[in-house]
Amino acid sequence: MKRQKRDKLSRAHAKGYQAGISGRSKENCPHTDSTSDARSQWLGGWREAMEDRSYGLNSR
């Protein structure tokens, strides 16, 4: 049985969240096309992580 990869958008969101929770800047987004759905998902994950950090959730 083959493993099924997660779709690219959910992966982008997860990677954005990881970047945000570790304190990296949103300028570190690897998706350069401003109209890209992947960029939107990455930034959404980053924003979610920033909100979680403000509530005291840290990865440390």
Residue 22: what are its φ and ψ, rounded to 5°? Answer: -90, 0
Q: How far is CA 29 from CA 1, 2, 33, 34, 57, in A?
A: 34, 30, 10, 10, 21
The pLDDT tens digits of the residues spanning 11-42 come to: 999 999 999 999 999 999 998 887 789 999 99
**pTM of structure:** 0.80
| Number of Cβ within a 10 Å radius of residue 44 | 16
Do 42 and 14 touch, CB atoms closer than 8 A? no
Tell me the mean pLDDT in the region 47-55: 92
User: What per-residue confidence (pLDDT) applies to 1?
Assistant: 47
pLDDT band for position 43 (cuts 50, 70, 90): very high
